A and B are shown apart, each in its own frame.
Chain A
């Protein structure tokens, strides 16, 4: 996965995206015990020029990896043996990416979404498997409750946590 991350970092170096952070199951696994998952979710903040009105263009990302010879599997790009899904960040996710936790994977720098934002994103998704991850994060990770409450309040998600 080291080379996968290195390849994704290339997007930022080539100014094809403004920033990115790992989200989804793999970000959760950074904080909690491992579980079965098959893809690497990457939340991206596209550059201003890739935002055309209500349309966000991910084509430069896809073209970049296609030119590097990587294959596609559904919505995933298989980068160095790992299926990666690129998700353009909405408002909450963009804030999460900007506040991403800087980490290293086998010496390669990357960012993961902070646990408070992961909880918020998972609560918003609200499927059973998302709620199970929220419960694990609250039990096993160091979640700053004050920060979490603030995020949930600002994005109208407080009731979702209260109703758990």
Chain B
């Protein structure tokens, strides 16, 4: 019997991957992100703070965006 994890997904051209491959790739991506230099991660945090403020409702108080260049 074919299991869901073995179902092929076409992503680019003729390349076929399985759902399992997709989730493994996702996990790999998270692990790669975890290996970034600390300074780079802090820059990402600041970008996330900016994005969070931009999508905040007007009634909500904006969070502070760090000034890390000091």
Contact = CB atoms under 8 A, between A and B. Distances in A.
A124 to B, nearest CB: 23
Contacts of A83: 64, 66
Contacts of A33: 30, 33-34, 36, 41
Contacts of A140: 30-31, 34
B67 interface: yes
B48 A32 contact: no
Contacts of B63: 38
B70 A3 contact: yes
B31 to A, nearest CB: 6
A73 interface: yes
Contacts of B30: 33, 136, 139-140
B44 interface: yes
B52 interface: yes
Interface stretch (A10-18, A57-65, A74-82): A74-82
A30 B38 contact: yes
Contact of B70 (A29, A35, A36, A80): A80
B7 interface: no
A105 B67 contact: no
Nearest to B69: A81
Contact of A82 (B38, B52, B68): B68
Nearest to A32: B34
Contacts of A35: 45, 48
Given A34-B33, A136-B30, 7 more contacts: A33-B33, A81-B67, A81-B70, A82-B68, A83-B66, A139-B27, A140-B34
Interface of A: 1-4, 26, 29-38, 73, 78, 80-83, 103, 105-106, 136, 139-141
Interface of B: 27, 30-31, 33-34, 36, 38-39, 41-42, 44-45, 48-49, 52, 63-64, 66-68, 70
